């Protein structure tokens, strides 16, 4: 069902606007095997394929010769061959072979900067070369690490990238939407000298992460830490039964303008980590990706049951968000603010700097 929904959204995709420069998921690594694959990104069709060395490439899907779709071709001798006239293109996008003649000097397709890590093929969006690397968590690769139990989610939604990512900076919705009743209040802080917890307070000036390469640009990240006390109510009952409740829960966030790394702790003990990423198919058409690795938390049946509880925590929360995402008004509207929205506003200012960076080219 999710795949059919994603394909339907891709068919009706329109060019995206107000999109931040950064790394986005083209597709999961496991879905790119030997043949070329069509992927719709930023409202435009692209082709993904692997060379002889296994390296992933993502390029424009239209052959510059006669306009044929390159994803209908095949991979031959480490090049992508057009199905129409057998022109071949290498990983850089250059035409390297034309039957019976020398390739025209200007014959090429656009090649997007591409990386492969954390179980995904990533592409860079925006002017100029990449300014940082995508999140690389080896434990998220396919079941190669003993004691680690992983799971993935891929959910199509009508939300924009910014709407999906800013959700992590909104502690109020933990109770309002997800019903996480806790023995106190959820708080969010930013790494800053003199910064205050944003449970209604205005933060000080934070550095939010390393400065972007080259100087003079936006900060690389908008990092944050969310904390909340022990669970109560039905969730508290379940957590107590599995020995998963704690005096304090902590969510550590490394936040870029296009993706996030998240670690979840209970009384200082890490329970799981995950990557939250987005595929911007088109205007208001996205796929939310979650790739999580649950740390070993007990042996045998106890560890297995605990891992199921952690998976349910993430999966239920994500599925509760989706109906809201799908019914948000079009556009990244700002609405009426209350003090508890200050962290979301902070991320929106950060995000907009990376939008402006993408538009400079």
Confidence of residue 300 (pLDDT cuts 50, 70, 90): low
For residue 162, what are its two tokens?
A: 């910014």
Q: How far apart are CA 361 and CA 359, in angstroms?
A: 5
Q: What is the domain extent for residue 314?
A: 138-359
Q: Of 96, 125, 154, which residue is a domain's last?
A: 125
Helices (H), the chain: 2-11, 161-166, 172-176, 233-241, 300-327, 342-359
Shared domain for 190 and 74, answered yes or no, is: no
Task: Choose among 217, 226, 304: nearest CA to 263.
Answer: 226
Mean pLDDT of all residues belonging to the chain: 84
Shared domain for 291 and 143, answered yes or no, is: yes
Residue 88 included in any domain: yes
pLDDT digits (tens, 9 = 90+) for 30-72: 999 989 999 999 999 999 999 999 999 999 999 999 999 999 9
Shared domain for 58 and 204, answered yes or no, is: no
Higher pLDDT, 149 or 1: 149
Shared domain for 185 and 317, answered yes or no, is: yes
Above pLDDT 90, what percent of the chain? 57
Residue 17 included in any domain: no
Report whether pLDDT(212) > 60.
no
Residue 5 included in any domain: no
pLDDT digits (tens, 9 = 90+) for 268-298: 988 889 999 999 999 989 999 999 988 766 5
Report whether pLDDT(196) > 50.
no
Higher pLDDT, 27 or 304: 27
Shared domain for 272 and 302, answered yes or no, is: yes
Residue 13 included in any domain: no
Residue 6 included in any domain: no
Shared domain for 47 and 101, answered yes or no, is: yes
Shared domain for 180 and 56, answered yes or no, is: no
Shared domain for 189 and 105, answered yes or no, is: no
pLDDT digits (tens, 9 = 90+) for 328-358: 877 677 778 888 899 999 999 999 999 999 9
CATH code, domain carrying 83: 2.102.10.10
Distances 50 to 57, 75, 121, 169, 177 between C-alpha atoms, Å: 6, 8, 11, 36, 42
Q: Which of 3-12, 56-65, 160-169, 228-237 has the lowest average pLDDT?
A: 3-12
Percent helix, strand, coil in the chain, to 5, is: 25, 30, 45
Q: Of 125, 157, 184, which residue is a domain's last?
A: 125
CATH code, domain carrying 233: 3.90.380.10
Q: Tell me, yes or no, if the pTM score tops 0.75.
A: yes
Report whether pLDDT(18) > 50.
yes
Confidence of residue 317 (pLDDT cuts 50, 70, 90): confident
Strand partners, 154: 289
Confidence of residue 211 (pLDDT cuts 50, 70, 90): very low
Shared domain for 78 and 148, answered yes or no, is: no
Shared domain for 167 and 46, answered yes or no, is: no
Q: Which residues contact 184 (CB under 8 A, 6 or more apart)?
A: 228, 229
Query: What is the tally of structural domains in the chain?
Result: 2
Q: Residue 288: what pLDDT? A: 97
Residue 3 included in any domain: no
């Amino acid at each position: 069902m999710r795949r059919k929904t994603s394909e339907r959204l891709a068919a009706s995709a329109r060019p995206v606007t107000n999109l931040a420069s950064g790394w986005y998921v083209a597709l999961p690594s496991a879905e790119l095997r030997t043949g070329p694959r069509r992927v719709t990104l930023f409202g435009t069709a692209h082709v993904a394929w692997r060379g002889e060395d296994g390296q992933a490439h993502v390029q424009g899907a239209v052959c510059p010769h006669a306009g044929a779709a390159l994803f209908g071709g095949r991979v031959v001798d480490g090049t992508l061959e057009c199905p129409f006239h057998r022109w071949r293109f290498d990983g850089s996008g250059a035409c390297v072979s034309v039957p019976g003649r020398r390739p025209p000097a200007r014959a090429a397709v656009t090649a997007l900067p591409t990386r492969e890590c954390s179980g995904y093929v990533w592409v860079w969006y925006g002017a100029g070369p990449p300014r940082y690397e995508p999140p690389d968590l080896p434990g998220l690769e396919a079941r190669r690490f003993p004691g680690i139990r992983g799971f993935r989610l891929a959910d199509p939604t009508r939300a924009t990238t910014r709407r999906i990512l800013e959700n992590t900076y909104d502690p109020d919705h933990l109770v309002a939407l997800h019903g996480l009743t806790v023995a106190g209040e959820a708080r969010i802080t930013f790494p800053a000298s003199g910064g205050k917890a944003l449970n209604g307070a205005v933060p000080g000036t934070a550095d939010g992460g390393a400065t972007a390469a080259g100087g003079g640009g936006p900060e690389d990240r908008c990092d944050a830490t969310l904390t909340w006390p022990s669970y109560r109510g039905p969730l508290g009952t379940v957590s107590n039964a599995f020995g998963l409740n704690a005096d304090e829960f902590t969510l550590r966030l490394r936040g870029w303008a296009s993706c996030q790394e998240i670690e979840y702790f209970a009384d200082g003990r890490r329970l799981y980590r995950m990557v939250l990423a987005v595929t911007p198919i088109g205007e208001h058409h996205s796929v939310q990706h979650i790739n999580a690795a649950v740390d070993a938390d007990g042996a045998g049946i106890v560890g297995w049951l605990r891992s199921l509880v952690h998976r349910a925590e993430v999966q239920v929360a994500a599925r509760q968000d989706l109906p809201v995402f799908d019914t948000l008004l079009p556009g990244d509207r700002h609405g009426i603010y209350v003090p508890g929205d200050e962290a979301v506003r902070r991320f929106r200012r950060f995000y907009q700097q990376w939008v402006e960076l993408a538009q400079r080219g």
